Structure 1
Amino acid sequence: MSGTTPARAATIVDVARAAGVSRQTVTRAVHDMAGISPATRARVLAAARDLNYHPSRFGRGLVKPAARTLGLLVGDLTNPYYAELASTVLRLAADRGWNVVMAEPGSADGLAGGADAVVAFTGLPLDPPSPAAPNLPVVEIDPPRTRPGHGRVEFERDRATGEAVRHLLERGARRPVVLDREGSTSRGRAFVAAFRAQGVEPVVAGRESGWEDLRRHAPDAVVAFNDLDGFRLLRDLARAGVAVPGEVRVVGVDGLGVGEYVTPRLSTLAIDLAEVARSALDLVAELSERRVEDPVRVVAHRFLAREST
């Protein structure tokens, strides 16, 4: 019936409670490991059957390291933002002895049969997991919407957004433009709200707007949708002979490392991708053992003021 809540899948804790044993004993029984008696094994397996318990493949990997394979779904790798995060996940996963298989967005079902867990960072809603892998641990990074049972690493931008807006206003900006996707996004709405809180009404323009599109607004500050769009805008302004930051100040979002090497260096809302990756991998391990009640971690952006403002 529409609107009903699906029954919660049985966990290792449920089986341990029903069989009167520890979680470690359940792990040994369901994976046919040594160290328990035949009678205990039979009791645990009977409880698992009664509860329709399906052990997590990643949970088995935590006991047998050679079996651990992490599926990594990443957005457009031509965008350095996704590439930097993927590289960080690969490095930190290797430190933990985990193998990593990468796939494109929309490929979660393809990973379900060969991966023990999935981390997704695509900027898109994740397809439902395959019914063949009901206990597959899934962690989404900055997801556009939440899915029950999935872990999430959420980004907190409000504080850094407020700092960036105050920084621009302190330097004389009064005609800001915020570049955003059609229909607006959370980051765009956050910048608009922060400007309004300071008594300034920004213009909202399409993400792809170039300087020729923007000059009619006579902006003295532009917040780009991300760093790549900020780099493009800096190029357009240089070609048009517009001084940055003298005439127009520019802020990006993402904190790409390459921002250190453009001229002028781009001010941006940056995030610690190592902390993001570490939080995602920690959640994968916790979800695999069913030992997390609130599978959410929050990583905050910080404002980096550079020469573009």
Structure 2
Amino acid sequence: MAESAQLTGAGDPAAPAARRRATILDVAAAAGVSRQTVTRAINDMPGISADTKKRVLDAAGALSYRPSRFGRGLVTGGDRQLGLVVNDLRNPYSPELAAAVVRRAADEGWSVSLVDIGLAGAADRLLRSLHAQADVVVGYLGTWASAWESRFGATPLVLLDAGEDIAHAGVDLDPIAAIDDLAAHLVALGTRRPVVLDASEPPMPSRRGIAMVEAFERRGLSPEVVHASVPTPEHASAVAAQVIRRTTRPDAILAFNDLMALGVLSACRHAGLDVPGDIRVAGVDGLTVGTLVAPTLTTLAVDFDEVARHALELAVAFGEGDGDVGPHRVVPHRLVLRESA
């Protein structure tokens, strides 16, 4: 019976995709178009209608089809290609993440192409070029993720720290437990007037800012939330300078990230405040630069190597057509106590 079933399915265009990676011919048969039309649709070339393109992309998605780089003449020596997307290489977070991903990718036999869509003036062009080269794309896509399939076809996407985005595979970074540990630590030291310096437009706090507020509220405190519209040391320093000039100043400031915390340290230094004697300061990310300032920075650290490990495991699974791998992973932050708190 098993042999008969295999012979019966041999003529079914959808059957090969169930047993092996789908080919361009499978997509063409499923969409009822020619191979050339599939090529045009997948590579966003002119000469086909929007309806035809959508039909081809829908078929490609249903079959989990990924275009071959080799068929497009993009051979790079045989290594599989990982596209890594970051949003600001000026932030040390991006190079530290990229270094971890490159190290892990090398261990797995992948080459890495890096694109910064935050600094680029032509993000769409850069992402199209990356899509043409990469077997899998990993990183911070922001609003580009929602239109990924319609713009870039079936190249698999692994999002980093995308939160509630469940449409794509991803590695989420979860600071909740570490934030709670930090709040407990600060309250135990006598903190009574904490301020959360968030990276968001007022009056709405970020997801991270909300977690910080709730951690103190569980301990009977009501922290004030102040906002820096841009998560940089310069903006954070300007906001912190206003806060610490008040008659009743805070005795702790929790910044959205380490760069903003460095800005807070700068503002405190210029105001003549002792850290941590007069005020305690903490950040989030665990960047190396936090160990090089005085006082050294207390932080909620991300294990970049662990993030890279999960991202590459998902990338390898996609590259090998493993549909059974779980599409979402979580990496928690951890509290790292240093001199500033």
Same fold by TM-score greater than 0.5: yes
Query: What residue number does 1:212 align with?
Result: 242
Query: What residue number does 2:310 align with?
Result: 279
Query: What residue number does 1:55 align with?
Result: 65
Query: What residue number does 1:114 align with?
Result: 133
Q: Which amino acid aligns with 1:161?
A: I
Query: 1:231-242, aligned counterparts within 5 Å?
Result: 231-242=262-273
Query: What residue number does 1:78 align with?
Result: 90
Q: Which amino acid aligns with 2:276?
A: P
Query: 1:134-283, aligned counterparts within 5 Å?
Result: 134-143=153-162, 145-146=164-165, 148=167, 150-180=168-198, 181-182=200-201, 183-207=204-228, 208=236, 209-216=239-246, 217-283=248-314
Shift in Å, 1:135: 2.2
Q: Is the 8 A contact 1:58 1:68 kept in 2?
A: no
Query: What residue number does 1:42 align with?
Result: none
Shift in Å, 1:293: 5.7
Alpha-carbon distance between aligned partners in 2 of 1:130 and 1:123, rounded to the nearest angstrom: 14
Q: Which amino acid aligns with 1:179?
A: L
Query: What residue number does 1:18 align with?
Result: 15
Alpha-carbon distance between aligned partners in 2 of 1:201 and 1:246, rounded to the nearest angstrom: 22
Q: Which amino acid aligns with 2:185?
A: H
Shift in Å, 1:83: 1.3
Alpha-carbon distance between aligned partners in 2 of 1:230 and 1:159, rounded to the nearest angstrom: 20
Alpha-carbon distance between aligned partners in 2 of 1:215 and 1:255, rounded to the nearest angstrom: 28
Alpha-carbon distance between aligned partners in 2 of 1:287 and 1:266, rounded to the nearest angstrom: 38
Shift in Å, 1:176: 0.4
Query: What residue number does 1:99 align with?
Result: 111
Q: Does the alignment pair 1:129 with 2:126?
A: no
- Secondary structure class of the residue paired with 2:99: helix
Structure 1: unaligned runs, 5 residues or longer: 1-14, 32-44
Shift in Å, 1:136: 0.7
Using the aligned pairs only, state the percent identity. Answer: 39
Query: What residue number does 1:66 align with?
Result: 78
- Secondary structure class of the residue paired with 1:143: coil
Shift in Å, 1:272: 0.2
Alpha-carbon distance between aligned partners in 1 of 2:146 and 2:129, rounded to the nearest angstrom: 11
Deviations 1:246-266 (CA, angstroms, capped at 9, x unpaired): 110001011101111111111
Deviations 1:88-144 (CA, angstroms, capped at 9, x unpaired): 112211222212111122443332222211012256553522547532110010025
Identify if the C-alpha distance between structure 1 residues 285 and 46 changes in structure 2 by more than 3 Å, giving closer, same or farther: closer
Q: Is the 8 A contact 1:70 1:100 kept in 2?
A: yes
Alpha-carbon distance between aligned partners in 1 of 2:107 and 2:274, rounded to the nearest angstrom: 46
Query: What residue number does 1:6 align with?
Result: none
Shift in Å, 1:56: 2.0
Q: Which amino acid aligns with 1:55?
A: Y
Alpha-carbon distance between aligned partners in 2 of 1:99 and 1:59, rounded to the nearest angstrom: 13
Q: Which amino acid aligns with 2:222?
A: E
Q: Which amino acid aligns with 1:142?
A: D
Bigger Cα displacement from structure 2, 259-268 vs 132-141? 132-141
Deviations 1:51-96 (CA, angstroms, capped at 9, x unpaired): 85463247989xx981521111111001001111011112211222
Q: Which amino acid aligns with 2:291?
A: E
Shift in Å, 1:193: 0.5
Alpha-carbon distance between aligned partners in 1 of 2:18 and 2:142, rounded to the nearest angstrom: 39
Q: Which amino acid aligns with 2:190?
A: G
> What's the C-alpha RMSD, in Å, of the aligned pairs?
2.9
Alpha-carbon distance between aligned partners in 1 of 2:141 and 2:83, rounded to the nearest angstrom: 13
Q: Is the 8 A contact 1:195 1:201 kept in 2?
A: yes
Query: What residue number does 1:301 align with?
Result: 333
Q: Which amino acid aligns with 1:281?
A: L
Structure 2: unaligned runs, 5 residues or longer: 1-11, 32-58, 118-122, 229-235
Identify if the C-alpha distance between structure 1 residues 300 and 46 changes in structure 2 by more than 3 Å, giving closer, same or farther: closer
Q: How many residues matched?
A: 275
